[in-house]
Amino acid sequence: MTIRVAPALLGADPLNLDTAITHVERIEVPYLHLDVMDGHYTDDINFGLRTIAAVRERTHMPLDIHLQTLRPERYLDALIDIGVERVSIHVDACDQIATALDTLQSAGIGKGLVLNPDLPLHRLEPHLDRLDFVILMTSQPGTSTFDPTVVTKIKTLRALLTERFLDTTELVADGGITDHTAPHVIAAGIDTLVAASGVFRAADADPHAAVERLAHANRSTAPQ
């Protein structure tokens, strides 16, 4: 199975985002992941609509927008106008999930739901057959501490997708993804790794090499 790695711009030097984008444009990655944080759902504030619009003008890479916000539906029309390719919302932050998914589908935008480590999988189940992808947070939003209990949840969700003939639904791990944690989620059945500091703050300062290491991580390299 080919593992994809999506660099999260949150891990880049905020004073050198243009350089970071240049680096990932030279690497074979599926999309550029941008976290939107409103200071309420998470403590941090990051990547508002103006920044996303500027990134859209700067690069032709597909943009994957992760709305770590309350009432994420407020931002959908603006993101559609900007021309992003994918949007995900947290199941516990949106009261009208079906309507939000309708809005994204009508605009031809990839639609995903996000589940935090402390939430049960049944929160996703009513919407699974409508999703292009699911993000399982492997750390709490706004943090980067990997939660190993999510590995079992990944296995369970992978089995559920197979049972429902939804094998084309992309399964994404996001949060605390490094050379040490990636093998565990890969072995559990993940398709795509979202990595921030794991790409942009690698010890060798080489994003390309960091992506290659993550994409080819295997269980034998994982800590026991």
Active-site amino acid positions:
35, 174
Q: Which long-range contacts (CB under 8 A, 24 or more apart) does 116-119 make?
A: 116/90, 116/92, 116/140, 116/141, 117/147, 117/149, 117/150, 117/153, 117/175, 119/91, 119/92
Strand 63-68: give its sheet, edge to edge: 4-7, 192-195, 170-174, 133-137, 110-115, 86-90, 63-68, 32-38, 45-46
Query: Exposure of 71 by Cβ count < 10 A (0-12 exposed, 13-18 middle, 19+ buried)?
Result: middle
Query: Hey, what amino acid is at 160?
Result: L
* Structure token digits, residue 38: 């409103």
Give the Cα separation of 196 and 178 in Å (integer): 9
Tokens 């996703």 found at: 124
CA–CA gap between residue 108 and residue 153 (Å, rounded)? 29
